[in-house]
Chains A and B, each alone.
Chain A
Amino acid sequence: MNKIVICGATSAIAVEVAREYASRGATLYLVARDGERLSTLASDLKARGASGVHTEVLDLALNEHHQALLARIKDILGAIDALLIAYGVLPDQQRCEEDVEATMQLLQVNTLSVISLLTLFGNEFAKQERGTIAVISSVAADRGRKSNYVYCTSKAALDVFLQGLRNRLFSNGVHVLTIKPGFVDTPMTAHLKKGLLFAEAAEVGRGIVKAIDRKKDVVYLPWFWIIIMAIVRNIPERLFKRMSI
């Protein structure tokens, strides 16, 4: 596993995944919007032992860039061992309720643009007949709730899309991983109060690499979220609709 592509490479979680691969001597192709943070990350990965680091500054929400991106990556890396799609945003739920445009934009970033990438790269992986496609979804995808259902929706759509893709690409020998982190201490959650349920990005990053190594289909990180979400999913809707969580 030595040629890794990361979309949204400056995400705190993705950075930890990249570091793990760098220390294994991988070659990485990193895509993100912020050029300064991208070059900080590139030197960090080289110091840790990455064989090569290529960076590209790009707004991934724009579908029209995806085809050319894939072409450039193939040019530089040849075959791809793993693709991680990590970018995403946590919207202001209330703003989404008041402004339908905000909701549409969020879905474009978290969902539609990811589906565009998955379609293009999926076809490429099918041709390669090997490799891993990993996408960061969220435990939030398991149930819609009033405090952030727009975000829940954006991730739940990915979950279903990935199920189908996994099923389709299985016969091509391609591994598809759905990653479902719980609360992680990153810039995305900087405004939230940190309780006992919060995990470190480094721990989640290591968990992702392990799940890729082991060819898992779906992984909850840290593991205990699988229990919490099983309970949350099983609360009858007639009760759930009355609850505030």
Chain B
Amino acid sequence: MKGESWGRYPKVSQQVRMLEKRQQNPFRSKEELYLPYGQGRSYGDCCLNDGGVLIGTRWLDSFIEFDRDQGVLRCEAGVTLAQVLELVLPAGWFLPVTPGTKFVSVGGALANDVHGKNHHGSGTFGCFVRRFELLRSTGERLICSDRENAALFSATIGGLGLTGLITWVEFSLKRAPGPWIEMESVRFGNLEEFFGLSQESDKEFEYTVAWLDCVSAGANFGRGIFMRGRHVPSEAHPKRSLLGRLSPKVPIDLPSLTLNPLTVRAFNELYYRKQRQRLVKKLVHYDPFFYPLDAVSGWNRIYGSRGFLQFQCVVPSSGNSRPIAQILSTVVENGDASFLAVLKEFGDISSPGMLSFPRRGVTLCLDIPFRGTRTLNLFARLDEMTRDFGGAIYPAKDATMSAESFQQYFPRWKEVAALKDPRCSSSLWRRVTGLTQS
């Protein structure tokens, strides 16, 4: 069966087998290579298994235990963050960490050790995982925590599904007074201003992130809008936005012309101009604050069937804007406009995960339509630059980094290789370890 990830590049051929209950053992054959699969919201090939079998976890969607007083949830790995929010928010709790979409599974969040707008103060999702069950291809079921099977615990957090199937996860939640976020957006004119805002805001706001205009050169180079927010109690009544009420869908692949440098330039210009004052303060619902893209389901189809690549790196920053400026100008000069560019400073809370991506520095995230060799060349160049800056690329968003780069970015990869389940593998793993078998 043909398969693709959220970015729709690359295309592979693989089978999907759905698990109907967590007691079932999906590792049936000694010949096949398996990869657990959540909601397929990863962009590159970490959730693809060319020539192999995906173990679908979508139906493992039951809660197991919810401690409403302590804020601890145990649920099956296929439960989505959206389902978690529906359960826990009315009880006064929120996700400790959330990525930019709520349509990911808890298992996927763990296996990519996802980060969010609160990384500077809270770290990654893996920091909140208390324990989980890991089903190995031998049929053995191991409870992993920082005390029990500790090595497998660390290898599985950010472990890209390679250590076995996570059947359930227990993690802690954070308190929240309700669905409302007090949000401020601040316009900035260049990257120096971004770093200034970021230093100042990270002290006072739980959540920070910036949108970056990555089309404009010259005087407008590096301008953008900084967004910061915090949970606040409010009696306001949820009023869903027009977009939320309509919940539009992109039902078909749009012709790849839709997103061309002209439309993207216009979008960037409008987005920046939309905000007239330097600082705007509003009360917003958590949905548009955390998940603006979730409002249009299937938005990845606007890139057409050739798909797109996402580039996300982290580079050391300490207030230095040079690496980001160089990466950005490489993209702009190549004529590859990004529709969406996001910039955020990570903090230094370390995760238990051996392959965890976030680390102190600044992370930049770009979407670039796939246009063949020209795009691949650009990505090779960006990979090289990231390596020279001493940074790293996020496997959850990657389809192109070289084996050499991966091994430099993730020096503990050999420890994971040693703990990996021999029957698990992925397209990404074979690419970045240079191994053809497993």
Q: Taking beta carbons and an 8 Å cutoff, which residues of A are in contact with B? A: 12, 34, 36-37, 40-41, 43-44, 47-48, 187, 190, 196
Contact = CB atoms under 8 A, between A and B. Distances in A.
B18 A187 contact: yes
Interface stretch (B60-68, B100-108, B316-324, B429-437): B60-68
Contacts of B76: 40
A13 to B, nearest CB: 13
A187 B64 contact: no
Contact of A44 (B59, B62, B251): B62
B21 interface: yes
Contacts of B65: 43, 47
Contacts of A34: 21
B419 interface: no
Given A36-B23, A187-B20, A47 B64 contact: yes
A201 to B, nearest CB: 10
Contact of B63 (A12, A37, A48, A190): A48
B22 interface: yes
Given A47-B87, A48-B87, A36 B21 contact: yes
Given A44-B63, A47-B65, 15 more contacts: A34-B21, A37-B20, A37-B21, A40-B21, A40-B62, A41-B62, A43-B62, A43-B63, A43-B65, A44-B64, A47-B63, A47-B66, A47-B87, A187-B18, A187-B59
Interface in B46-67: 59, 62-66
Given A47-B87, A190-B18, A12 B59 contact: yes
Contacts of B21: 34, 36-37, 40
| B: interface residue count bin | 10 to 19
Contacts of B87: 47-48
A203 to B, nearest CB: 12
Contacts of B62: 40-41, 43-44
Interface in B1-39: 18, 20-23
A196 B59 contact: no
Contacts of A190: 18
A12 B87 CA distance: 19
A43 B168 CA distance: 13
Contacts of A196: 251
Interface string B250-271: 0100000000000000000000
A6 to B, nearest CB: 15
Contacts of A41: 62
Contacts, number: 33
16 contacts: A34-B21, A36-B23, A37-B20, A40-B21, A40-B22, A40-B76, A43-B63, A43-B65, A44-B63, A44-B64, A47-B65, A47-B66, A48-B66, A187-B20, A190-B18, A196-B251
A37 B22 CA distance: 9
Contacts of B66: 47-48
A124 to B, nearest CB: 31
A94 B20 CA distance: 26
B379 to A, nearest CB: 32
B41 to A, nearest CB: 17
B19 to A, nearest CB: 10
Contacts of A47: 63-66, 75, 87
A34 B22 CA distance: 13
Contacts of A12: 59
A191 B18 CA distance: 11
Nearest to A37: B21
Contacts of B251: 196
A38 to B, nearest CB: 10
B141 to A, nearest CB: 14
B89 to A, nearest CB: 12
Contacts of B23: 36
Nearest to A12: B59
Nearest to B252: A196
A34 B59 CA distance: 15
A43 B73 CA distance: 12
A118 to B, nearest CB: 28
Residue among A41, A44, A187 with max Cβ neighbours from chain B (10 Å): A44
Contacts of B64: 40, 43-44, 47
A190 B76 CA distance: 20
A47 B23 CA distance: 20
Closest 6 CB pairs of A and B: A44-B62, A47-B63, A47-B66, A36-B23, A44-B63, A40-B62
Interface in B200-235: none
Contacts of A48: 63, 66, 87
Nearest to B60: A40
A187 B23 CA distance: 16
Contacts of A37: 20-21
A36 B24 CA distance: 10
A195 B78 CA distance: 22
Contacts of B18: 187, 190
A40 B18 CA distance: 17
B87 to A, nearest CB: 6
A43 B75 CA distance: 10
A187 B17 CA distance: 11
Residue among B23, B63, B76 with max Cβ neighbours from chain A (10 Å): B63
A63 B76 CA distance: 35
A43 B61 CA distance: 12
Nearest to B251: A196
A47 B88 CA distance: 10
B318 to A, nearest CB: 44
A28 B199 CA distance: 53
A73 to B, nearest CB: 23
A196 B252 CA distance: 10
A37 B59 CA distance: 11
